[in-house]
C-alpha cells in the first residue's frame, strides 16, 4: 500500500469470520491497523469469575438469579427453622426495624461473595388490611433508609393466614455479611406480620 491510496479496513461479514473489506474514505498515510476478533457466541465466558460488568458476567448474574440454590431463613437469620421473623406495625405508621439477616448469616453457601433476597413466605398477619413492608441493607435500618439501599412491597391477607405462595421481591445484590432489616406499616396499631425469607447467593 502506497501513500495516497484509499485506506480499507476489515469488517465482520458472515458467521464468525472477518472477510469483507470496507472503504473508509480515508487516505493512507501509515500502516493499516486492525484486529480480528471471534464472534461473541464463539468465546467461552468465565461468568461470575470473569471481568466484572462484562457481557458474560452480566449474563451469568442473571442466569444465576433464575437458576440457583435457594436458602431460607427464619428468626434472626437462622436456617433450618420454622420460627418466623415477626415485625410489628406502628399506629398507622412504620414500626421498628427488626434484624432479618445478621453479619454472620451469609454466606450460607461456601465461596459466595454476594447475595440477594428473592422471596418472602408470609406465615401469619394480625390484620386483614394492607401492609407495607420495607427491607433494607446496611449497618442498620435507618442507615439503609438514608442511603436508599432498601426495597419495598405490599401484602394483604383475607384470613390472617397466608393465602398464596411465596412473594417474589426485588432487590440489588449485597456483599455477603451485609445485615438485612425489615419493618412494616399497617393502619392499625400492633399489626404483626410473620414471615420467612429466601435468598440467592453468587460466587462472584
Assign 157 a pLDDT band (cuts: 50, 70, 90).
confident
CB 178 within 8 A of CB 79: no
Q: Which of 53-62, 122-131, 138-147, 160-169 has the highest mean pLDDT?
A: 138-147
CB 204 within 8 A of CB 112: no
CATH no. of 69-202: 2.60.120
| pLDDT tens digit sequence for 16-66 | 554 444 455 554 454 555 555 666 666 777 777 777 778 778 887 788 777
pTM of the model: 0.74
Nearest CA to 123 out of 75, 187, 185, 78 is that of 75
CATH 2.60.120 placement within the chain: 69-202
Assign 140 a pLDDT band (cuts: 50, 70, 90).
very high
Phi, then psi, of 58 in degrees rounded to 5:
-65, -40
| pLDDT tens digit sequence for 3-13 | 555 555 545 55
Q: Pick 12 or 71 by higher pLDDT.
A: 71
**For residue 181, pLDDT beyond 80:** yes
Assign 161 a pLDDT band (cuts: 50, 70, 90).
low
Amino acid at each position: 500500500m502506497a501513500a495516497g491510496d484509499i485506506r480499507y479496513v476489515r469488517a465482520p461479514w458472515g458467521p464468525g469470520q472477518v472477510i469483507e473489506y470496507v472503504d473508509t474514505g480515508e487516505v493512507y498515510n501509515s500502516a493499516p491497523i486492525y484486529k480480528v476478533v471471534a464472534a461473541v457466541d464463539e468465546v467461552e465466558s468465565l461468568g461470575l469469575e470473569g471481568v466484572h460488568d462484562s457481557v458474560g458476567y452480566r449474563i451469568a448474574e442473571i442466569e444465576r438469579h433464575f437458576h440457583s440454590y435457594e436458602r431460607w431463613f427464619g428468626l434472626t437469620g437462622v436456617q433450618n427453622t420454622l420460627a418466623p421473623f415477626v415485625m410489628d406495625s406502628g399506629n398507622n405508621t412504620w414500626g421498628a426495624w427488626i434484624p432479618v439477616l445478621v453479619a454472620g448469616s451469609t454466606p450460607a453457601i461456601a465461596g459466595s461473595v454476594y447475595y440477594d433476597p428473592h422471596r418472602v413466605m408470609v406465615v401469619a398477619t394480625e390484620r386483614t388490611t394492607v401492609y407495607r413492608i420495607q427491607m433494607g441493607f446496611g449497618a442498620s435500618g435507618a442507615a439503609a433508609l438514608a442511603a436508599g439501599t432498601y426495597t419495598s412491597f405490599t401484602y394483604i391477607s383475607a384470613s390472617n393466614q397466608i393465602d398464596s405462595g411465596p412473594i417474589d421481591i426485588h432487590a440489588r445484590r449485597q456483599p455477603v455479611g451485609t445485615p438485612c432489616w425489615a419493618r412494616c406499616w399497617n393502619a392499625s396499631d400492633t399489626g404483626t406480620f410473620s414471615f420467612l425469607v429466601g435468598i440467592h447467593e453468587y460466587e462472584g
